[in-house]
Structure 1
Amino acid sequence: MTLEEFNALDEAAAAQALELCCVSQQWIEGMLRERPFANKSNLRNCAETVWNTLGRDDYLEAFEGHPKIGDVDSLKAKYAGSGNLAAHEQSGVAAATDDVIERLAAGNERYETRFGYIFIVCATGKSALEMCELLEQRLDNDPERELAIAAREQLKILQIRLEQWQ
């Protein structure tokens, strides 16, 4: 989709397009209020500005739109209609060894138990081992710091997804 096509969508269709980038309803509503976007730079800047107005519950809602890192079945189910955005983003997991996959699974479980939400990382360009090491390092963070890190990672992800618009 081009930015011009996005700007021309009715509100419901525009909301659906934005939902492929981030499922936080507050973020989507904020972005809809800012339309039309003059150019991609304006789109990116607005996306970040709106993101930075959100609170904890909005971030947690956004995190719910992601499959667990390395959960291939979840990736396929959740993103069947989205052009496989998340599957492509997590392509580094495909070449992972069984040991790394097991570490990711165990780390994901510990992370979710500790923080109450799944591990969020911008996986683009990262190997499964890199993601596993990041997950293990972040397990020691205090909850407030970790939420801030996860929120920044989510912002990176949604920005990458917006960049795919022509």
Structure 2
Amino acid sequence: MEAPVTSRSPTPGLARFNALEERAAATALHEVCASAEWGRRLLAGRPYTVVDDLLAASDAAMAGLTAADLAEAVAGHPPIGRPEPGDAASAREQRGMAGAPAELGAEMLELNLAYQERFGHVFLIRATGRTGEQMRDALRRRLANSPEQEREITRTELGAINRIRLSRLVTEDPTAA
């Protein structure tokens, strides 16, 4: 499983992020999380001294999102098993469904639809490092949750996804081929 980077020292990627013009930084953050409020809160905290500070700011911003902000963030994610064409991040994160047997794919589609009908949004899980079967089993379990329980689990999962994506943003070399 891919773990978020933690660092108590500055990284070149963090320096690049801090130096981005506001609009470019907002765009980069929107690719991490579709919540405009989450992005605003992280922008307001720049510059970040170390990666841990950025990740802590992300956690705090996630904890402070309203139900509407959370819905906006979740709306930026495709259903498990159906990453957006051309979206390298969701394809990479959902790798556990790549090559899954047709029966598992069909079951995930059915469960995703039941979840969406029950909760009004796509099933969200930190898919990185999980197999298709693990995601299916989690989806089955979570269908029994109350809407309130599910909202908080979704918030936690989204926070984990954001940490992974932010870590990648500030550690990957954008000039590497």
Asked if Structure 1 and Structure 2 have the same fold, meaning a TM-score greater than 0.5 normalized by the shorter chain, the answer is: yes
Q: Deviations over 1:132-154 (max 9, x none)?
A: 11001100000000010011000
Q: Deviations over 1:68-103 (max 9, x none)?
A: 00014xx215x2xxxx11110000101211111111
1:65 matched residue in structure 2: 76
TM-score by length of 2: 0.87
2:161 matched residue in structure 1: 157
Does the alignment pair 1:27 with 2:31?
no
Q: Give the distance between the partners of 1:66 and 1:143, measured in 2 at CA.
A: 19
Runs of 4+ in 1 over 6 A off after TM superposition: none
Q: Give the distance between the partners of 1:104 and 1:147, measured in 2 at CA.
A: 20
Q: Give the distance between the partners of 2:72 and 2:121, measured in 1 at CA.
A: 10
Contiguous gaps of at least 5 residues in structure 1:
none
**Structure 2 counterpart of 1:159, which letter?**
R
2:85 matched residue in structure 1: 76
Q: Say which of 16, 41, 51 aligns to 1:40.
A: 51
2:149 matched residue in structure 1: 145
2:139 matched residue in structure 1: 135
Q: What is the aligned-residue identity percentage?
A: 35
RMSD across aligned positions (CA): 1.0
1:87 counterpart SS class = helix
TM-score by length of 1: 0.93
Contiguous gaps of at least 5 residues in structure 2:
1-11, 172-177
1:7 matched residue in structure 2: 18
1:20 counterpart SS class = helix
Q: Say which of 53, 65, 87 aligns to 2:64.
A: 53
Report deviation, 1:50. 1.2
Report deviation, 1:110. 0.2
Q: Give the distance between the partners of 1:51 and 1:36, measured in 2 at CA.
A: 19
- Matching of residues 112-127 of structure 1 within 5 Å: 112-127=116-131
